[in-house]
Structure 1
Amino acid sequence: MIKVKVNLRPLVRKINLPTVLKTAALPGDSVERLFIATQVGEIFYLGNSSLKTFLDIRPRIIKLGTFEPGVSRGGYDERGLIGLAFHPQFYYNGLFYLHYSVAGTQGPSALPEQFKPNPCDPKSLSLKWLNRETLYDHIDTIEEWVLHSSGQPQKRRTLLNLRRPFFNHNGVNSLNFSPETGKLILTTGDGGAGYDPFNLSQDNMEIAGKIIEIDIAKDTFIYNPPVVTRFNELPAPIQETLTVIAKGVRNIPGISFQRFYNQYIKYVGNVGQDLVESIYSFIHYNPIPVTQLVQASSMKSELNQEEFINFGWRGWEGPFPTSTIKKCPTNQALDEKTIAYYDEAIKTSVRRLQPLTSYFHKDPRPNKFGGTALTGVQAYMGNGIRDLTGSVVFTDLARDKESHSPVQGVLAYSRVRADNKLSDFSIIETNYNFGSQSSYYVSLGTNMDQTILYLGVYSSMKVTDFNQGTIFEVTP
């Protein structure tokens, strides 16, 4: 693949950890503005070279960095304000949508200790999430807001209230509108902990681990929905607004649509467990109404799942069967890898979607890198960086620490091949000098026509280390 070099032009400095970067034109405004959502609950926009506050919901956000009342994880957290989307007609109707973790909903977590499957112990492979109303970590909410003509945003209604089993894998950049259907797309992670202990991602009734379409044009007249974890717990009017695009999701940094003649290529990334990060692409899909899923479940009947996208998790981690890893006693440089869920890997081996490309946590090949976690996937259709036109660009949180100090994230790209075979990827080289500070690449965004790329960088992995973020425009 062509080696691409880019510049990083700083736009904003010293902001809190950025989770969403996207643009919109404010009602009555002739200019498309860059909006930045932070994990702690702020939304800013860049106007006339200065940063302006659009909305501040910090009091609505769960206390970040603290777990199981009073237990700290050193400031690392995956909750907070993790989704922001503007209605396609935002300029005219002022509607926008938020996904965040709700203040005051901290629970004790669904499991008392860290989980790891043991193929020798069948009980560890068939755990059930019991006592869900008391054993959970927090509640996420998806809300519709409106920007009034006075310039004041106000909440209109709640679309979903989701009880989450663990603090992590809630998705990020989790709300995006489909240019094909006009519906709001919600990408939910598997609920967390690692290894998906309850196999929520493959269960058709579980909201966790899915890509969901929400028809926001339908008014359910239910403005405070019940807190749920399963589709069949939702009131019928809400079920009727939902369709499911995909399952088998571990954790997704959003969905990106790329116009291809009269169709759209959909790109999503699935964050890996221990071995590999994967980017997927698909054009055709068969969204299944939640009402059909619920009916099939209640009648215990098999659903026709042709073209129902399945990423294969938890049986598959990208191109590999999901593995548990142990150090080899005679050689600490090697690892013993055992298939964690053999039966599930077999069941999903044919139905699962193969990745477009994958990159690995350890990679000895020249011009590659050892990654940590996928943090952004975006189509690029601009002509400014000609060698990237028509590609899919992605970011990794931090290059393998053994190969790079101080820590720095990675920008890379790939392309869909005409023969639909596994694509290669290439690092995008940047000339920006971050100095001695760590620079984690935490978010990736574009403008509305995908001709500009924006990169969010943070100098800490801790959301409680404040004001350490910089937003860059990626330039030729």
Structure 2
Amino acid sequence: MKKVKVNLLPIVSKINLPTVLKTAILPGDSMERLFIATQVGEIIYIGNGSLRTFLDIRPQIIKLGTSEPGVSRGGYDERGLVGLAFHPQFYYNGLFYLHYSIAGTQGPGALPEHFNPNPCDPGTINLKWINRETQYDHIDTVEEWIVQSNRQPQKRRTLLNLRRPFFNHNGVNSLNFSPETGKLVLTNGDGGAGYDPFNLSQDNMEIAGKIIEIDVAKDTFILNPPVVTRFDELPVPIQETLTVMAKGVRNIPGISYQRFYNQYIKYVGNVGQDLAESIFSFVQYKPIPVTQLTQASLRNTEPDKDGCINFGWRGWEGAFPTSIIKDCSGNPDLEEKTIAYYDEAVKTSVRRLPPLTSYFHKDPRPDKFGGTALTGVQAYTGNAIPKLTGNVVFTDLARNEESGPPVRGVLAYTRVRTDGKLNDFSVIEADYNFESQSAYYVSLGTNLDQTRLYLGVNSSMKVTDFNQGSVFEIVP
């Protein structure tokens, strides 16, 4: 693949951790503006050269950087404001959508201690999430808001309230509209911990670990939906607005659509466990109505899952059966890799979608890199960087190298293959001097027609370190 070099053009600095980067045209405005959602709960935009506040919901966001009441997590957190999407008709109707973790909903978590599967102990392979009303970490909400005639945003209704077992894997850039169906797409992580302890991602009734389409054109007239974890706990009018597009999700930095003649290629990244980060692509899919899933569950029958996408987690981590990696006691330079969930890997082996590309946490090849966590996947259709035109750009949080600080994130790209084979990827060299500061690449965004790319960078991975964030445009 061709070597690509880009520059990073600074747009804004000294903001909080930027989780979502999107453009939109405000009602009554004439210009497309860049909107930045921060994890702590602000949405700001660039207007006439200055930074303006669009919405500030910081008081409504759970206290970040803590776990059980009063227990610190060292400032690392995956909760907060993680999703922002503007309705395709936002300029005319003022509607936009938020996904965030609600203040005051902190619980003790679903398990008392750190989870590791042990194939020799069936108890760790067949765990169930019990006492869900009390054993959970927090509650996430998906809401519809409207920009009123006085330019002030106001909440209109709640679409979903989701109880989450652990603090992590809530998705990030988790709300996007499908240009194909016009529906709001929620890319929902598996609920957290590591190794999906309760196998929520493969269970048809669990909301966690799925990509869900929400028909926002239907008004359910349910002002405060119940807090749920499963589809069959939802009132029927809400079930009727939902279809399941994909399952087998671990954690996911959004979905990107690329027009290809008269159809769309969908790109989805699945954050890895210990081995690999993976990017998937697909065109054809057949979403399953949630009402069909719940009826099949009541009848104890299997729903028609032909055409529903399955990324294979927790049995598969990208192209590999999910492994447990241990140091070899006799040889510290080597590692023992054991298949964690052999039976599940076999069960899902033919049902799953193979990835378009994977990159690895350790990679000995000279022109590659060791990754940490996938943080963004976006199709690029612009002509300013010709070598990237029509390709898929992705970001990794931090280059996994032994060289130590300062930390640097990674930009890379892959291209579409029409033959279904696993594709290679190539590093994009970014010319920017961060000097002695760390630079975690935390988010990737585009403008409305995908001709411009934006990169969110933070110099700390602690949400309690404020004003450490910057946003760049990726330019030739």
TM-score (norm 1): 0.99
Output the amino acid matched with 2:288.
Answer: I
How far apart, in 2, do the equivalents of 1:419 and 1:232 lie?
39
How far apart, in 1, do the equivalents of 2:453 and 2:378 lie?
8
How far apart, in 2, do the equivalents of 1:33 and 1:98 lie?
18
**5 Å matches for 1:330-409?**
330-403=330-403, 405-409=405-409
Q: Does 1:313 align with 2:316?
A: no
Equivalent position SS for 2:204: coil
2:136 counterpart residue number: 136
Output the amino acid matched with 1:115.
Answer: F
Equivalent position SS for 2:91: helix
How far apart, in 2, do the equivalents of 1:128 and 1:322 lie?
19
**5 Å matches for 1:69-468?**
69-403=69-403, 405-468=405-468
Equivalent position SS for 1:176: strand
Kindly tell me: are residues 73 and 401 of structure 1, through their superposed partners in 2, closer, same or farther at Cα, counting changes over 3 Å? farther
Output the amino acid matched with 1:229.
Answer: T
The C-alpha deviation readout for 1:109-163, integer Å capped at 9, x for no partner, is: 0000000000000111000000000000000000000001101000000000000
2:41 counterpart residue number: 41
How far apart, in 2, do the equivalents of 1:180 and 1:425 lie?
27
How far apart, in 2, do the equivalents of 1:285 and 1:33 lie?
33
CA drift of 1:25 comes to: 0.2
How far apart, in 2, do the equivalents of 1:12 and 1:172 lie?
21
How far apart, in 2, do the equivalents of 1:439 and 1:86 lie?
28
Output the amino acid matched with 1:112.
Answer: P
How far apart, in 2, do the equivalents of 1:79 and 1:333 lie?
36
How far apart, in 1, do the equivalents of 2:430 and 2:405 lie?
16
Structure 1 regions of 5+ residues with no counterpart?
none
TM-score (norm 2): 0.99
Output the amino acid matched with 1:416.
Answer: V
CA drift of 1:403 comes to: 4.3
The C-alpha deviation readout for 1:73-124, integer Å capped at 9, x for no partner, is: 1000000000000000000000000000000000000000000000000111
**Root mean square deviation of aligned Cα:** 0.6
Equivalent position SS for 2:411: strand
CA drift of 1:307 comes to: 1.3
How far apart, in 1, do the equivalents of 2:304 and 2:161 lie?
28
The C-alpha deviation readout for 1:237-267, integer Å capped at 9, x for no partner, is: 0000000000000000000000000000000
CA drift of 1:404 comes to: 5.8
The C-alpha deviation readout for 1:142-195, integer Å capped at 9, x for no partner, is: 000000110100000000000000000000000000000000000100000000
2:13 counterpart residue number: 13
CA drift of 1:332 comes to: 1.1
How far apart, in 2, do the equivalents of 1:147 and 1:7 lie?
35
How far apart, in 1, do the equivalents of 2:474 and 2:382 lie?
11
How far apart, in 1, do the equivalents of 2:134 and 2:140 lie?
15
How far apart, in 1, do the equivalents of 2:56 and 2:379 lie?
29
Equivalent position SS for 2:217: coil
Output the amino acid matched with 1:166.
Answer: F
How far apart, in 2, do the equivalents of 1:417 and 1:180 lie?
21
Output the amino acid matched with 2:228.
Answer: V
Q: What stretches of structure 1 move > 3 A for 4+ residues in a row?
A: none
Output the amino acid matched with 1:318.
Answer: G
Equivalent position SS for 1:333: strand
Equivalent position SS for 1:401: coil
1:2 counterpart residue number: 2
CA drift of 1:401 comes to: 3.3
Q: Does 1:22 align with 2:22?
A: yes
Output the amino acid matched with 1:107.
Answer: G
Structure 2 regions of 5+ residues with no counterpart?
none
2:31 counterpart residue number: 31
Equivalent position SS for 2:345: helix
How far apart, in 1, do the equivalents of 2:289 and 2:385 lie?
40
How far apart, in 2, do the equivalents of 1:100 and 1:418 lie?
37
The C-alpha deviation readout for 1:399-432, integer Å capped at 9, x for no partner, is: 0131463110000000111322111000000110
Output the amino acid matched with 2:318.
Answer: G
Equivalent position SS for 1:451: coil
Identity of aligned residues (%): 81
Count the aligned residue pairs. Answer: 476
How far apart, in 1, do the equivalents of 2:425 and 2:392 lie?
10
